[in-house]
Amino acid sequence: MPRIVIKLSGSYINPVQPPSAIESFARVIKEVLSMGFQAGVVVGGGPTARSYISSARALGASQALCDHLGILSSRMNAFLLISSLGEAAYPVPPTSIEEALQAAASGKVVVMGGLQPGQSTNAVAAVLAELISAETLINVTTVDGVYSEDPKKVPTAKLYKKLSYSQFAEILSIRREEAGKYDLFDTVALNVVSRSKILVRIISGEPPENIIRVLRGEDIGTLISPT
């Protein structure tokens, strides 16, 4: 059975979104299952995480505590997706590697949030991909791929169709990583996908059906691979 991990930006799965928007992602995930894939899903913290982190930071909380609030937020968002998936999903977001393994053994869709401070949910998605031997990690975000510059600021910015891990690392040129401010991908996520040669496909979640297009073999977004 082909295996994939889908990382959903917390911008799509949060309590401010209309329930129908979250249901659209749940429908797509069920379609992925009916196509014969085993899928693991990781949900980001989105605006929930950012609002807790900025409040806690202003109150003097440590980086680790701010990260922890991001983790809790991503787990609450994961519960929203689990609610919409119903019986198809394992009922609780695993909080450790051991729980993730147990959840995966149930045969249900594992939906996770964060795991530990010092990384983003992209690192969780990369580790989950290793755990379930997924070949591809689909990163469903709010941009339609990796650009040479910020396309919102530079209209001539170029969309990269394909990048190697090292080209991707160079473009990100990760300098400072802190609670609520990890880039499109973080250092841990990069290291994990490159050591296990997990393909990464970065796409927009608008519409959610883009996930199906990727699994049907369409070349959308940016593909990140060993070479």
Residues that bind ligand UTP in the complex, under the rule CB under 6 A = 9-11, 44-46, 49, 67, 70-71, 74, 114-117, 119-121, 123-124, 141, 179-180, 182
* SS3 (DSSP) at 200: strand
Give 116 or 204: the residue with its C-beta nearer to ligand UTP. Answer: 116
| 201 contact partners, CB below 8 Å, separation of at least 6 | 136, 137, 138, 139, 214, 221, 222, 223, 224
Q: Please, what is the minimum distance in Å from the beta carbon of residue 68 to ligand UTP?
A: 7
Question: Shortest Cβ distance from residue 222 to ligand UTP (Å)?
Answer: 15
Nearer to ligand UTP, 90 or 180 (CB): 180
Helix (H) or strand (E) holding 146: strand 146-147
Nearer to ligand UTP, 51 or 167 (CB): 51
Residue 11 or 194: the one with the smaller Cβ distance to ligand UTP is: 11
Nearest by Cα to 150 from 163, 161, 141, 159:
159
The residues pairing with 138 across neighbouring beta strands, listed in sequence order, are 6, 201
* Contact call for residues 26 and 85 (beta carbons, < 8 A): yes
The CB-of-138 to ligand UTP minimum distance in angstroms stands at 13
Measured from the CB of residue 221, what is the shortest distance to ligand UTP in angstroms? 14
183 C-beta neighbours (distance < 10 Å), count: 17
| Residues whose CB falls within 8 Å of the CB of residue 51, separated by 6 or more in sequence, listed in order | none
- Least distance between ligand UTP and beta carbon 204 (Å): 12
Our CB check for ligand UTP shows the closer of 26 and 78 to be 78
Residue nearest to ligand UTP (CB): 70
